[in-house]
Amino acid sequence: MSTRTYSDAVDHLNSLQSNAATLEALRTGKSRMDSLAIPEMVEYLGRIGYTAKDLNRLNVIHITGTKGKGSTSAFTDSILRHVKPEWKVGLYTSPHLVAVRERIRINGAPLSEDQFSQFFFDVWDRLEKIDKREHAETSKMPAYFRFVTLVAYHAFLSLGVDATILEVGVGGLPKPVVTGVSALGLDHTAVLGKTIGEIAWQKGGIYKEGVPALTVNQPEEGFEVLKQQAQNRKASELILVPLTAGLSKIELGLAGTHQYQNAGLAVHLTKHFLHVKAGWSLDDTLPSSFVEGLKQTRWPGRCQTVVDPKLARLTWFLDGAHTKESLECCMQWFASPAAALRQIVPSYRHWLNCPSAPLVATMNFVIRTRVLIFNCTNGRSAHALLETAVAKIAAQLQLHGEAKDANSFFDYVIFCTNVTYTDGGFKGDLTSKSIPEKDLAQLTTQHELAAAWSSLIPTFPSDHIHVVPSIQHAVNLVHEILTENELSQVVDVLVSGSLHLVGGVIEVADLSEVAL
């Protein structure tokens, strides 16, 4: 190869993406990919020069779950860095928002482009050179996610991290220091065609012999299965994390009431880790370093408010919620005084610049325009997701004593694909081969969403429902809405349904400097 740039690495990585047909086979149980995950990863590790036991040197806090695992990982990372600022702390999560290197962080910062390229091609070259395979089904190169995981292992081992927060769906590590399972969601299991018990069985695979196994309140079936997994795998103990005294009084760095459960799990994971690695006592106190870590946690794209750096009237509300339960949390946050119902002092200056506006109204209220940009993965129930969102908005408006009807809460809705640009192209790091070509060409999912919205809210103006083929189309449409609604002092845009969509909006709307 003549070049070894970051762009080259991304291009090579994208060649390993699974297409829509492969993912559908996995969802319907017609693929053996899932059952081969651990033995194949062990094989790939061997081909790049490591054994599974080498991963124990990473000192891993292993976190999984259906929802909240990313936020829990972010809280844990931040706490640990505030408690032990002299340590080198690695964090591995997925997916990324704008750049794939975001998945691999050292002391809170993503690998640089040069670092990512170096570690990427180290792994690529070793796999190319050593092609001996133990399992006939194993491909020469692992799929996208597994490859990035190998790059993370190689980077962390090469850089000599003192601790690693590892957010990975299944358990292949021989001996993590402590393990934790965040909330398990029923609706997510329905998409995969699995029961809550089956998902709990899979997630409980991270529990290991002699290692503390932690979890949060779960559906009964899920908790019973986790308990069985902990016993089968001889975990040292199964801990249903208790409430942490004083936690509810802290203003967390991540918005949303649901984050307190994730923060609580992070507190207990960190305490158990420090108990093993630094001799900390397992008491019920909340040290100041923990509090500061919780306050300073940042996790873009999750209940995040971003004021547009170039358009003062425009505020973006970003949340990658993609299940019914996570959408409920999203709407609980958005339709609240912390977000879309926030108090705003009317701007007299703005009204003076609009001669047609009645000046007498400036002291009494603020005119707002609200826009929803939404997309969901093909195969998810458009009607059920949107019905959940509308119902939660109605409940929130009633809770906060708002007279506004939930049916008119949003003024415009935009349903778009996850394609980045108007020319049909993707930003390299955001390239996706998982969208069925026919669906993409006909905007099938987006039209289903529009039809579901009209069914749920028959009175919603049809000319305010938009189906567009790219994220850039959606952002351009927001800019048009901003211009057309000159009397609105505030234009709030909620972007939800997909983290890939959120990442695309950050890229296209040029929000990276303030959002990431």
Condensed to tens digits (0 to 9), the pLDDT of residues 160-191 reads: 999 999 998 666 688 999 999 999 875 444 44
Task: Output the pLDDT for position 346.
Answer: 58
- Asked if residue 358 and residue 272 are part of one domain, the reply reads no
pLDDT of residue 319: 95
Are residues 92 and 144 located together in one domain of the fold? yes
Q: Residue range 231-244: average pLDDT? A: 94
Report how far apart, in Å, the C-alpha atoms of 452 and of each of 384, 413, 446 are: 9, 12, 10
The answer to whether residues 346 and 444 belong to one domain is yes
* Domain end marker among 158, 186, 210: 158
Residues 361 and 230 in one domain: no
Q: Which amino acid is present at 315?
A: T
Domain final residue pick, 134, 158, 182: 158
Q: Which CATH number characterizes residue 248's domain? A: 3.40.1190.10
2 pLDDT band, cuts 50/70/90, is: low
Residues 184 and 139 in one domain: no
Q: Are residues 146 and 216 in the same domain?
A: no
Question: Residue 439: pLDDT above 90?
Answer: no
Does 249 share its domain with 137?
Answer: no
Q: Are 371 and 412 in contact (CB under 8 A)?
A: yes
Residue 208 placed within a domain: yes
Query: Does residue 198 lie within any of the structural domains?
Result: yes
Are 360 and 240 contained in the same domain?
Answer: no
Lowest mean pLDDT among 35-49, 116-130, 207-221: 35-49
pLDDT of residue 154: 97
**Closest by CA position to 266, among listed 226, 237, 295:** 295
Q: Is the dihedral of CA 110, 115, 121, 124 positive or negative?
A: negative
| pLDDT tens, residue by residue, 384-423 | 999 999 999 999 999 998 878 889 999 999 999 999 999 9
Residue 5 located in a structural domain = no
The CA distance from 371 to 334, in Å, is 12
Q: What confidence score (pLDDT) does residue 35 get?
A: 59
Q: Would residue 18 count as lying in a domain?
A: no
14: in domain: no
Q: Determine, yes or no, domain membership for 4.
A: no
Q: What pTM, to 2 d.p., does this model score?
A: 0.89
Same domain, 208 and 294: yes
Say how many domains are in the chain: 3
Render pLDDT for 55-75 as a digit per residue (tens, 0 to 9). Answer: 999 999 999 998 899 999 999
Confidence of residue 40 (pLDDT cuts 50, 70, 90): confident
Spatial separation of the C-alpha atoms in residues 86 and 429, rounded to whole Å: 32
Q: What is the mean pLDDT of the chain?
A: 88
Q: Tell me the CATH number at 364.
A: 3.90.190.20
Domain interval for residue 223 = 59-82+162-299
With CA atoms as reference, report the closest residue to 158 among 111, 93, 197: 111
The answer to the question of residue 172 being in a domain is: yes
Say if residue 390 is in the same domain as residue 263: no
Which pLDDT score, from 0 to 100, does residue 501 have?
A: 96
Helices (runs of H) and strands (runs of E) counted in the chain: 19, 14
Q: With bands split at pLDDT 50, 70 and 90, how would you rate the model's confidence at 433?
A: confident
Dump pLDDT digits (tens) for 303-319: 999 999 999 899 999 99
pLDDT > 70: percent of the chain? 89
Does 189 share its domain with 279?
yes
Q: Which residue has the tokens 């409920």?
A: 328
52-61 in b/e form (b: 16+ CB < 10 A) is eeebeebbbb
Which residue carries 């300073």 as its tokens?
296
Length of the chain as a residue count: 516
- What is d(CA 18, CA 436) in angstroms, rounded to the nearest whole number? 11
Residue 3 in any domain: the answer is no
- What's the rounded Cα separation, in Å, for the pair 13 and 159? 22
Q: Which of 299, 332, 364 is the last residue of a domain?
A: 299
Residues 423 and 329 occupy one common structural domain: yes
